[in-house]
């Protein structure tokens, strides 16, 4: 399967995405199959005679190509809008492009959504560089999480008001008016009430959006987040009365859809482990084999349900692979979350300095590449030795290396929360994270170099890419 990258102007014609896996032995065959799978694209890239349009340029990996060029598995096809006269215009805000030598350097702009203890901050600026506050919303209120859904082009913000509890809002313009969603709220017969909205995740079907809340529950919307319903099957799990809360409460914070398969989904719960469905949420299976809850006495581990997942991410190009940051341990699963292998390697050459932490991310183009931000320990939740470092593996956890050029390397005792680290879909991948002391750091080269993108913000709860 080749990977086709579309310009943002065509994203709305291809189910709201700008990167698709398409089969074919040549570039032309791939593009023709792309049109069959996404009929709204017909006529945009190829003309009615099946030729590449005059103002469209095609690259295979980093080489300019024609339709006859052979392609293989994992080759990347870039559909680029050619600019008459040779000059390149700046892409629209949030467009993530690839540097191609024949076209010169493209200016890449980014938008970040930063949820803080005192409102939502929408940052704009050059990808990987300094950014400015473009919008502030929900001033004085706790924004737990904010995210952009490229399919509906809606922004979502999970807001917790100190007196009036959690609410979910959405808008198509964060500088304009926000509308309150109908939910997520528990049905009356559950006897429960939502205390915090932890995560909003676009699904794989048109209109479907997922939400994870505390107390640990999964909600689903089928109308782009406007109304919500409780997933009863997960809520009614027989062992739920024995589930234990972590320090942040009993929360469902991680939602990992399976690309192009709406029936398959995995969620992470603190502190009740990984739960997986293969029938769209009608039934669920527990996935904790191989996880070691060190905080539970050894003699009690066989019977415990207290598996404190901190974060869960799925590899887009190898969806059966998941990475997890656990409460003490970094793990990988190669069987869709049924079993887990510890990969932190603390105390060994090439291992992590510590394997406690909260966020984890994956390079969307390399399932062997993941990133973590270690903290010293559960009793000392700051960066080890006062050095702020991202750790990267490119061999699925067999070894790790620190990435810190441009990050503070002394007297930096910082904390990064589970939702405050994200990536974009660039090549190389862009990485962004925020710390509780109010700084946001950005990298446009896969973590090799870093820039202080913003500072002096309130304590940061979440960082996600915007439009």
**Does 183 lie in the same domain as 87?**
no
Q: What is the pLDDT of residue 222?
A: 98
Q: Given pLDDT bands bounded at 50, 70 and 90, which one contains residue 106?
A: very low
**Does 428 lie in the same domain as 410?**
yes
Dig out the tokens for 421 from the structure: 């680290």
Mean pLDDT computed over 316-334? 97
Q: What is the 3-state secondary structure (H, E, C) of the chain?
A: CEEEECCHHHHHHCCCCCEEEECCCEHHHHHHHHHHHCHHHCCCCECCCCCECCCEEEEECCEECCCCCECCCCCEEEEEECCCCCCCCCCCCCCCCCCEHHHECCCCEEEEEEEECCEEEEEEEECCCCEEEEEEECCCCEEEEEEEECCCCEEEEEEEECCCEEEEEEECCCCCCCEECECCCCCHHHCCCCCEEEEEEECCCCCCEEEEEECCEEEEECCCCCECEECHHHHCCCCHHHCCCECCECEEEEEEEECCEEEEEEEEEECCEEEEECCCCCCCEECCECCCCCCCCHHHHHHCCCCCEEEEEECCCCCCCEEEEECCCEEEECCCCCECEECCCCCCCCCCCCCEEEEEEECCCCCCCEEEEEECECCECCCHHHCCCEEEECCCCCCCEEECECCCCCCCCCCCCCECEEECCCCCCCEEEECCCCCEEEECCCCCECEEEECCCCCEEEEEECC
**Does 138 lie in the same domain as 83?**
no
- Say which residue, 3 or 288, is predicted with more confidence: 288
Whole-number percent of the chain with pLDDT over 90: 77
Point out which residues pair with 121 in neighbouring strands: 114, 136
**Does 458 lie in the same domain as 390?**
yes
Lowest mean pLDDT among 55-59, 143-147, 173-177, 262-266: 55-59
Q: What is the pLDDT of residue 9?
A: 61
Q: Looking at residue 315, which CATH number applies to its domain?
A: 2.130.10.10
**Does 280 lie in the same domain as 142?**
yes
Q: Report the greatest alpha carbon distance in the chain.
A: 73
Mean pLDDT computed over 363-372? 97
Give tens-digit pLDDT for 110-133.
999 999 999 999 999 999 999 999
pTM over 0.75, yes/no: yes
**Does 36 lie in the same domain as 130?**
no
Q: Is there a contact between 216 and 209 (Cβ–Cβ < 8 Å)?
A: no
Q: State the Cα–Cα distance between residues 330 and 351, nearest whole angstrom.
A: 11
Residues 6+ apart with CB under 8 A from 149: 16, 155, 156, 202, 209, 224, 225
Q: Is there a contact between 78 and 58 (Cβ–Cβ < 8 Å)?
A: yes
- Say which residue, 407 or 98, is predicted with more confidence: 407
Q: What is the pLDDT of residue 1?
A: 77
Does residue 46 have a pLDDT over 80? yes
Rg (CA), the chain: 22
Q: Is there a contact between 384 and 378 (Cβ–Cβ < 8 Å)?
A: no
State the average pLDDT for the chain.
91
Give tens-digit pLDDT for 161-215.
877 889 999 999 999 999 999 999 999 999 999 999 999 999 999 999 999 999 9
Q: In the chain, how many domains are there?
A: 2
Instruction: Indicate the residue among 83, 103, 123 that finishes a domain.
Output: 103
**Does 375 lie in the same domain as 401?**
yes
Lowest mean pLDDT among 55-59, 146-150, 294-298, 451-455: 55-59
CB count within 10 Å of CB 450 equals: 23
Mean pLDDT computed over 143-152? 97
Q: What is the pLDDT of residue 81?
A: 63
Instruction: Indicate the residue among 103, 126, 147 that finishes a domain.
Output: 103
Does residue 92 have a pLDDT over 60? no
Q: Is there a contact between 357 and 372 (Cβ–Cβ < 8 Å)?
A: yes
Instruction: Indicate the residue among 78, 103, 128 that finishes a domain.
Output: 103
Q: What is the pLDDT of residue 82?
A: 53
Q: Residues for the chain: how many in total? A: 467
Q: What is the pLDDT of residue 404?
A: 95
Q: What is the pLDDT of residue 84?
A: 37
CB count within 10 Å of CB 15 equals: 16
**Does 118 lie in the same domain as 66?**
no
**Does 55 lie in the same domain as 126?**
no
Q: Looking at residue 46, which CATH number applies to its domain?
A: 3.10.20.30
**Does 48 lie in the same domain as 173?**
no
Closest CA to 19 of 385, 414, 341, 316: 316
Give tens-digit pLDDT for 208-262.
999 999 999 999 999 999 999 999 999 999 999 999 998 889 999 999 999 999 9
Give tens-digit pLDDT for 21-38.
888 899 999 999 998 888
Structural domain for 137, as ranges? 109-465
**Does 29 lie in the same domain as 59?**
yes
**Does 42 lie in the same domain as 119?**
no
């Amino acid at each position: 399967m080749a990977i086709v990258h579309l310009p943002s102007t065509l994203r709305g014609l291809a189910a709201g995405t700008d990167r698709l896996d398409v089969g074919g032995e040549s570039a032309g065959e791939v593009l023709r199959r792309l049109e069959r799978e996404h009929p709204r694209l017909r006529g945009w890239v190829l003309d009615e005679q099946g030729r590449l349009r005059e103002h469209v340029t095609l690259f295979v990996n980093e080489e300019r190509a024609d339709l006859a060029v052979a392609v293989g598995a994992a080759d990347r096809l870039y559909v680029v809008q050619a600019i008459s006269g040779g000059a390149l215009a700046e892409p629209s805000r949030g467009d993530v492009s690839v540097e191609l030598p024949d076209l010169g350097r493209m200016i890449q702009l980014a938008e970040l959504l930063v949820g803080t203890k005192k409102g939502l901050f929408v940052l704009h600026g050059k990808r990987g560089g300094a950014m400015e506050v473009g919008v502030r919303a929900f001033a004085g209120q706790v924004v737990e999480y904010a995210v952009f859904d490229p399919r509906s082009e809606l922004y979502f913000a999970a807001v917790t008001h100190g007196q009036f509890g959690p609410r979910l809002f959405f808008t198509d313009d964060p500088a304009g008016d926000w509308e309150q969603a109908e939910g997520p709220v528990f049905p009356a017969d559950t006897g429960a009430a939502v205390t915090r909205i932890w995560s909003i995740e676009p699904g794989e079907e048109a209109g479907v959006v997922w939400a994870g809340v505390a107390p640990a529950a999964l909600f689903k919307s089928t109308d782009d987040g406007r109304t919500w319903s409780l997933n009863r099957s997960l809520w009614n799990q027989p062992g739920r009365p024995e589930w234990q809360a972590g320090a942040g409460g009993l929360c469902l914070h991680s939602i990992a859809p399976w690309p192009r398969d709406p029936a398959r989904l995995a969620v992470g719960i603190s502190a009740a482990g990984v739960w997986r469905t293969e029938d769209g949420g009608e039934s669920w299976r527990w996935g904790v084999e191989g996880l070691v809850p060190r905080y539970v006495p050894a003699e009690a581990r066989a019977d415990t349900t207290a598996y404190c997942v901190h974060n869960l991410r799925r590899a887009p190009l190898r969806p059966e692979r998941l990475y997890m940051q656990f409460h003490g341990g970094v793990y990988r699963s190669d069987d869709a979350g049924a079993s887990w292998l510890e990969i932190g390697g603390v105390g060994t050459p090439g291992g992590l300095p510590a394997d406690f932490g909260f966020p984890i991310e994956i390079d969307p183009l390399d399932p062997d590449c993941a990133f973590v931000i270690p903290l010293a320990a559960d009793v000392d939740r700051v960066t080890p030795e006062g050095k702020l470092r991202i750790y990267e593996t490119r061999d699925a956890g067999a070894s790790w290396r620190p990435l810190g050029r441009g990050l503070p390397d002394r007297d930096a005792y910082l904390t990064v929360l589970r939702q405050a680290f994200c990536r974009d879909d660039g090549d190389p991948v862009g990485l962004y994270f925020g710390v509780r002391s109010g700084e946001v750091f950005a990298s446009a080269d896969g973590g090799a170099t870093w820039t202080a993108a913003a500072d002096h913000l309130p304590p940061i709860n979440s960082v996600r890419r915007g439009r």
